[in-house]
Each structure stands twice: as structure tokens, then as C-alpha cells.
Structure 1
Amino acid sequence: MAAVSAEEEEEPPEAAMKKELGPTPCGSCIAWPPAVSERYEPLEKLGEGMFGDVYKAWDRVGRRLVAVKRLSGRTDNRFVETSLRYFAREAMSLGACRGHPSVVKLVATHADSARSDGDCFLVTKYAGPLNLRQYMRLRSVQGRPFLEAEVRDAMRQLLSGARRVHDAGVLHRDMVPENVIVDDRRDGKKVVYRICGFGVSERAARPDRDGSAPLASPSPYRAPEIFLGSQDYDGRVDTWGLGCIMAELIAGSGKPFFGANLDAKVFEKMQRAVGTQGIVEWSGLQRLARRDLAAELREKGYATYTGCLREVFPEEQLSEAGFEVLSGLLDANPERRLTAKAALRKPWFRRFSFGGCCFVP
């Protein structure tokens, strides 16, 4: 077992942290190698995906709560093999974004070198008990819709995190509610949102795309240019995903805003909501295999169709300033779509005014 990287922190108040400890899972259920199990005490399972599982754990060395993500080194009846390349990519992306409060904090990485199909482990600071999907569904069941001020606060944090990711030269490529950790245990203080799930991230400056973009994001969060097969994309594939999240926060149902049972239906639903004008006007459309799409849309009279997003979210539900952000994030034309930096400069996020001059984060 080799430790690839590690970071120690100041010891938090131990008494307060001990209150967080839950029941320890059965040791036989967790196959961690000695170098990992000796340092981290598993407390409860937080989730599971196709590549591995995540546990809340107690870091005996750092005296803190952490999340231990295990990436399976082999394919079996539960998980798909994760290569060292993908492990390194996620670790490097997290490391590049370290220090921002809206991105989960990398603590350590471990790779089991004792066996050829050994597991890899990513350890991050524990960020909260729920992901955003779970939190939205909980709020829906409780009959507690998100107020516009709450949506604004959530989006400010997420866009700020995305700006840090993009400034670090990273594309997340999987901005979905399941990859946002929510901490609402702060005794009436603001809810904290942190971006996680960098497993399919890539370097923004990479000249040779690997064609994996359509597999990176689930279809309800996939930007139109990715649906159309573009390999020429940037951080605005992430801000599209954040626009989808914003729409879901406002809608309050806890379900994907563009959700449908087939990818083709998702794309149709997307076009109805945000329009087809942006796709037709996008210069990159002519470089795609489906370059005849513009002609098809014009023939059908859709070249100027701007969608019905404002009808879905009327002004009594979302202010004009808020809608400017939502429609900017969900612009079908990636050349016009808001970047994270540009979105944060919109009037909706202005908090203080001094003689007509506004502070903008």
C-alpha cells in the first residue's frame, strides 16, 4: 500500500466531532487493506456507484471526520474496474481545486500496490450527510419549497466552486445533484453546498477529446452541444448542468427538470423548454456530423423558436434578475451561455449597495 499524497490539518475540537460518530459497520463488510483500515475507522456507508462505494469514517491520525471513496480495482458483480489513470485524474482534479470552500477538500490518496487489481482510495474531508438530490427530495416531502433567496445562495456557492474548477484548468463534466454535498446541520446558519464527483473530469486544455463526453453526464444534465456530438466544448458544459440544478431547485419536486425515459425524449423536452434558436445560431453546428439539423429546424419553422422557459417559471416564482441567470445558464447556444464568472456578475447576486455601487462576488 502506497500513500500517494496526504494533508494534515489542525485538530478540531474532539468532543464536538465525537457527536458526529455513528455506529461502526461490520468489519467483515468492508475490505479495506491494512494501511487504510488502520488509519480510518468506518462509521457508516454514504453511497455506492458503479465504480465503488463511499464511507463516512474517523481519521485516527488527523482526528477528524472524512469520507473514504473506494474505487474498485477489478470488475465483479457489484463494481466496474477503475484504472489508475482514472483514479489519478480524479485525484489531480481535486488537488488542483484544493482550498475553495465550495469544493470538497482532498485529504489523502492511497493505492493498493500489494496486488495487480488493488483498489484505490480517495479521502476527502467529510462535507455533509446528504447529496443535493436527497436534500431536494427531503424538502419536497416536508413541503418546504426553496425560496428564491435560498436558490440564490445555493447557486452563488455552486457557481463560485465551478469558477474555481475552471480557473484551475479543469472541466468537471458531471454537474448533477448527486455530485453536490449538502451540509444543513448548522443551527440555523446558511446551508453549505460543495461540489464533488470528479471521476470523469478532464483538463480543459486537452487537445484530443476521448469521445467520452456523452457518457460523462446523465442525459437530463447533458448540454445541447454534447447531445449533438461536439468534441469542441469548454466549461459551459458545466454551467449548463448548474442551470439544470437551478431549475430543479425552483421547481421543488426533486426530479430532473429535463427527465425522460429516453435520451431522444430528453433532447426534445430540452428544445421545447429553452428553444431551438440558439442551436440554429450556434456556429459550431456546421462542424458536426448533424450539420443538416439547422436546415431541418428552419424548414419546420423552429429557427426563431425561443422556448417556453419563462412560462414554466413566471415572475411570481422567479424574479426578472433570477430569470436572467437561469436563462443565461440554459442558453442552447454555448457561445452565448454564461460562464460561471459571468453569471456571478449578474445583478441577482449583488448583495450590498453603497451609493449606487454594488458589491459583486
Structure 2
Amino acid sequence: MPSSWATPKPVCRVSFFIAITRSQTISLAYLGSTRSWTPLKVVGDGSFGTVWLCDWHGTLPPKTPLSPMQCGAGARPEWAGKRLVAVKRMKKRWDGGWEECSRLKELESLRAISSHPNIIPLYDSFLLPSTKELYFVFESMEGNLYQLIKSRKGRPLAGGLVLSIYSQVVNGLHHIHESGYFHRDMKPENLLVTTTGLADYIPTSPMATSGAPPDKDVVVIIKLADFGLARETRSSPPYTEYVSTRWYRAPEVLLRSRDYSNPVDMWALGTILAELINLKPLFPGAGEIDQVARICEVLGDPNHDYGRDSRDRQIGGGQWLRGVELARNVGCTFPKVCYDIIIILSRL
């Protein structure tokens, strides 16, 4: 943590008035409203922006609740009396002014997707005229799912906790899709987490005996974040080839398809669930070709050679003509997987 945050003091004061015209364009003028905040610590630093946990001294939208970090048994005493928010500063200079900012995909999607308990809310956004820097003000959260998984150090999550996390992610993702958008960058780092205490979860393992004691584990709130790559479902392809972190990328994206939609989010959701259970990535490919090979090792290559099981279900990956064509276009050949391995995996 930079030494400049060691003794925080208010350093950012901006007076703006935000006027929304009939065409929903936003202009900034130096009038009465004051924004001021105290940076507490850096919580994220990426290629496009830096995020601070801050104590907010200005106004927020009416009925804005306290951060989950300040509620419940998990609230830390040092947060008492503060108004915690996450302030994100974009690194790009926006010389085109607010009109240019308003076309930013992240801002468009955050405005279009209505409030939901499992989606991080945007409280405010503004452009600093002196530096042409764009700022977002979000609800603050404790960390992310990647950090939670790493903190377990190999200790499995209680089955009930996995179900809780999964259901919250599904609810948030369903709301995004119902709003006409898909996320395109689903990964543990973009699922924000706040722990609010401990709970007893009913054992869900099939090996658990009758009357087994409950599994004690943390209670978490999950919220989907980082909509920088989100797109409208009805928008016209082609889309960017390189989206999402490789390990969570759907096969069609790995094969350089530029015509895809919300199923890529569902693929990522499945890989995240597997990681929650195993505490390690499901397909940790070293490159795109290796990623495809690892997927085939688990799911089989896309053909009909493996037949069907006793329930008449396709064994292995099944035929995928579009995938074969995509692979051919990029010079990739699906690796053949041992028939016996596929049969064994299909029975698990």
C-alpha cells in the first residue's frame, strides 16, 4: 500500500452540476454540488483503471444503503462512521469531453441494466475537467471470488456455500441477459465478495451420514462487476475476438469466432462452478491451442465416434460442425481423446 494512504486526508474535491437533457446527454458545469472523498487504500489496478476504497463525503443517490462491508457481523470497527465506496479512475484521457465518455460501453451497460441485488451498483460518474479523467463511484465490496478461493488454501467450501455463491451468480447473470446484455468477461476476479459472518450449512455430500453435523462456513454476498466488455444481445456482430480471460473463454471464442452471444457467459459460469468445487481452474491452458486441448481432454473432441450411453445421451463432445469449420480456418485440429477415458468420464 502506498505510504501516501497511510494517513488519509481529503484530497479530492470537485464541484459539478450534472444536467440531463431530453436526449439524455450530460453536461458538466461548475455549480453547487460538491463531491469529495478520502482515499483509504488501492484495491485494484489494471490496464484501464485504478480502484480505491474511499470514504465518501459528498452526496449519493437517495436511499443508497451502506456498503455490505459495514453491515452484519463481519463489519470492521474501523469502518464505523464512514461512508465506504469504491472510486474507479480510468487511465485514458477523455479529450472529447462528456459526450465521448457517454459512449463508453461500460457506462452504457451500467445505465441500461436496472438495479439488482447481485450486480454492483453505480452511484455516480463524472469527468474531471482539469485532467480529463473519468471517474466512477461504485458500492464497495471486500474482495473477489478469486481471493476467496485462494484464501481457502485447499480447504473445500461447504456445499451449501457453493450453492449460495452459484445461485447468486446465476441470478445476477440472468438479470443481465434479461436486460438484453451479455457480460463477455465472466471470471472469479469479476465476481465481488463480501463476507457477513458465519453460518451452519446442511451437509450436501452424498458421503455424509445421517445426522452428520452441519458444515460451518462463511456467509457471502456476491455481485457481478466490470462491464467494460458487455454488449447488447441484439447488437450486430462482428465482436472483438479477444474477450475474457483465456481459462474461462468459450470454445467458439478460442477459435476466433466473431459471431457469438450470451452462451459464452454460460460456459464461463460452468468453469467457475467447477473451480469453486475443486479450488483450481478447470481448463488452465497455457495458450489458445493448449486451452482447446484441455477442453477436449475433459469433454471429448466434437464427433460422434463415442456413441450414446444407456440413457441415450451423447458420450463425449458430440458433433460440432461450426467448431470444426472454425478450427480449420485457424489451422487448429481437435486432438483425439482416448475412447476409454471418455467412457469412464461419462459414468462419473
**AA matched with 1:34:** V
Give the drift of 1:309.
9.4
Deviation at 1:261, TM superposition (A): 2.6
Mapped contact 1:90–1:198 kept (Cα < 8 A): yes
Q: What is the CA–CA distance in structure 2 between the aligned matches of 1:221 and 1:86, rounded to whole Å?
A: 29
Partner of 2:83: 64
The answer on 1:204 being equivalent to 2:233 is yes
Q: Which residue of structure 2 lines up, in the alignment, with residue 134 of structure 1?
A: 147
Q: 1:53 touches 1:71 (CA, 8 Å); kept in 2?
A: yes
In 2, the alpha carbon distance for the partners of 1:305 and 1:167 equals 41
| 1:99 corresponding residue in structure 2 | 115
The letter of the residue matching 1:73 is K
Alignment of 1:164-183 (within 5 A): 164-183=175-194
Cα displacement string for residues 63-97 of structure 1 (whole angstroms, at most 9, x for unaligned residues) = 7321111111249xxxxxxx946972112212222
Structure with more strand by fraction: 2
Question: 1:274 touches 1:306 (CA, 8 Å); kept in 2?
Answer: no
Normalized per residue, the structure richer in helix is 1
Q: Give the equivalent residue in structure 2 for 1:46.
A: 43
Q: Is the alpha carbon distance of 1:275 and 1:72 closer, same or farther for their aligned partners in structure 2, counting shifts above 3 Å?
A: same
User: 2:282 aligned with 1:257, yes or no?
Assistant: yes
Q: Percent identity?
A: 27
Can you give the 5+ residue segments of structure 2 that lack an aligned partner in the other structure?
A: 17-33, 61-81, 200-217, 304-316
- Take 2:251 and 2:91, find their aligned partners in 1: how far apart are those partners? 32
RMSD: 3.6
8 Å CA contact retained: 2:106, 2:227: yes
Which residue does the alignment assign to 2:92?
73
> The residue matched to 2:186 in structure 1 has which SS?
coil
Q: Give the distance between the partners of 1:40 and 1:104, measured in 2 at CA.
A: 20
Q: 1:293 to 1:137 in 2, by over 3 A?
A: same
C-alpha contact (below 8 Å) 2:10/2:38 kept by paired residues: no
What is the TM-score of this pair, normalised by structure 1?
A: 0.65
| Partner AA of 1:125 in structure 2 | E
CA distance in 1, matches of 2:319, 2:151: 40
- Asked whether the equivalents of residues 24 and 44 of structure 1 are also in contact (C-alpha less than 8 Å), the reply is no
SS at match of 2:51: strand
In structure 2, the residue matched to 1:349 is: none
CA drift of 1:205 comes to 1.0
Q: Distance in 1 between matches of 2:344 and 2:219?
A: 29
Residues 23-34 of structure 1 correspond to what in structure 2 (within 5 A)?
25=5, 34=14
1:124-170 alpha-carbon deviations (Å, 9 max, x no partner) = 111x2111111100012xx5311222211111110110011111111
Are 1:276 and 1:303, in contact at CA under 8 Å, matched by a contact in 2?
A: no
Aligned to 1:223: 250
Distance 2:38 2:56 in 1: 7
Q: In the alignment, is the contact (CA less than 8 A) between 2:8 and 2:40 conserved in 1?
A: no
2:134 match: 120
Structure-1 separation of matches of 2:342 and 2:130: 56
Give the total of aligned pairs: 272
For 1:194, what is the secondary structure of its paired residue? strand
Q: 1:310 Cα shift?
A: 4.5
Tell me the equivalent position of 1:242: 269
Asked if structure 2 preserves the Cα contact closer than 8 Å seen for 1:41 and 1:57, the reply is yes
Farther-moved stretch of structure 1 (267-276 vs 240-249): 267-276
Which of 278, 294, 299 is matched with 1:269 structurally? 294
Q: Which has the larger radius of gyration?
A: 2
TM-score relative to the length of structure 2: 0.67
- The code of the aligned residue for 1:207 comes to S
Q: 1:309 to 1:155 in 2, by over 3 A?
A: farther
Contact residue 174 and residue 200 of structure 1 kept, 8 A? yes
Q: Is the contact made by 2:300 and 2:342 (CA closer than 8 Å) also made in structure 1? A: yes
User: What residue identity is the alignment partner of 2:114?
Assistant: R
Alignment gaps of 5+ in structure 1: 1-22, 76-82, 316-361
Deviation of the 1:271 alpha carbon: 1.4
- Quote the residue 2:160 is aligned against: 149
The partner residue of 1:109 within 113, 125, 130 is 125
Q: Which residue of 2 aligns with 1:282?
A: 320
